[in-house]
Amino acid sequence: MTASPDNGAAKGEPIFGTLAVVGIGNLGSSVARAVRKYGAVDRVVVADLSAEALARAKELKLADAYFEAPSKAVAEADIVVLCTPLGAFGAIAKAMAPHLKPGAIVTDVGSVKGAVVAAAGPHMPDTVAFVPGHPIAGTEKSGPDAGSSDLFVGRYWILTPDETTDRAAVARVTELWTRCGAIVEEMKAEYHDKVLAVTSHLPHLIAYTIVGTAFDLEGQEQQDVIRFSAGGFRDFTRIAGSSPIMWRDIFLNNREAVLEMLQRFSEDLSYLQRAIRWGEGDKLQDLFTRTREVRRGVIEAKQDKPFPEGGNGK
């Protein structure tokens, strides 16, 4: 099931000429590194509004050319990958639209799909194909140093084309991310947003809540929570350390699905609360047995580690 590359760069003919990354942070730099390592494109250009991120990307030699304005970077691109926080997608799409090459493909890595299609889609010229996408891979870190060429190896990359999307463009984007090691699947944007609300957005919200609760404790108690940080809390602090801007935008852009899942979660939490209050150990044990099975399933699907076995951090 795992896609082609081992961790020594498997190569073939480049799939695209020039690839433009807009937003050279964790995901953008992972895309830049991966397409180069796996020989998927001839040339990489990047745009980022942060002078600091651009300077660091240059030091790391992540691309062949660097621009502040997306309009400059996309002018020569055969494929553009939007890798900024979601809140910027609409404005970037509008600004770059007049400068896109006819025949170019625009795709993205945004964690929510419905809102992205709504914000960016209407700005796309008819001469360009827009293929929304989302790699289910990442870490809590931000910036160009955080990326890895192996981030996508063995991980799912979901595309959410609709009935108007150019199928040839979908096929080329599929080929691109498959070359970088991902397992590409298609689904409807709305379905994607519902599934990710449970598997990614809600866990982050829970982590933010628990760590926030600990932070709100007074004086000595707060210090001791950090000092004696047990495994469970420690794991929550990792994802609660994720980018505040990225996660603000995810919750603002997947409001309905997150609120729906949060409602179900609250009901399930009340059930456990009652079971603890009334000493109903059988109910607790029954649920914990079923959740153990879920964990087994994740391990069997090889989705339990951020990087592949022996995968590099860069």
Ligand X SMILES: NC(=O)c1ccc[n+]([C@@H]2O[C@H](COP(=O)([O-])OP(=O)(O)OC[C@H]3O[C@@H](n4cnc5c(N)ncnc54)[C@H](O)[C@@H]3O)[C@@H](O)[C@H]2O)c1
Tell me which residues touch ligand PRE (CB under 6 A): 111, 136-140, 200, 239, 242, 306
**Beta-sheet strand order (sheet of 129-131):** 65-67, 41-47, 16-22, 79-82, 105-108, 129-131
- Which listed option, ligand X, ligand PRE, none, makes contact with residue 24 (CB within 5 to 8 Å by class)? ligand X
- Which listed option, ligand X, ligand PRE, none, makes contact with residue 243 (CB within 5 to 8 Å by class)? ligand X
Nearer to ligand X, 138 or 308 (CB): 138
What is the nearest approach in angstroms of ligand PRE to the Cβ of residue 164? 25
Long-range contacts at 275-282 (CB < 8 A, ≥ 24 apart): none
Nearer to ligand X, 14 or 82 (CB): 82
Residues that bind ligand X (CB under 6 A): 22-28, 47-50, 53, 70, 83-86, 88, 92, 109-111, 135, 138-139, 142-143, 146, 243, 246, 250
- Which listed option, ligand X, ligand PRE, none, makes contact with residue 27 (CB within 5 to 8 Å by class)? ligand X
What is the nearest approach in angstroms of ligand PRE to the Cβ of residue 112? 8
Those residues with Cβ within 8 angstroms of residue 57's Cβ, 6 or more apart along the chain or in another chain: 24, 29, 32, 46, 48, 63, 66, 144
CA distance 213 to 190: 32
What is the nearest approach in angstroms of ligand PRE to the Cβ of residue 12? 27
CA distance 185 to 158: 5
- Which listed option, ligand X, ligand PRE, none, makes contact with residue 81 (CB within 5 to 8 Å by class)? none
| Beta-bridge mates of residue 129 | 105
What is the nearest approach in angstroms of ligand X to the Cβ of residue 57? 8
Q: Between the CA of residue 171 and those of 12, 131, 186, 276, what are the distances in Å?
A: 16, 10, 11, 52
What is the nearest approach in angstroms of ligand PRE to the Cβ of residue 305? 10
DSSP secondary structure letters along 29-40: HHHHHHHHHTT-
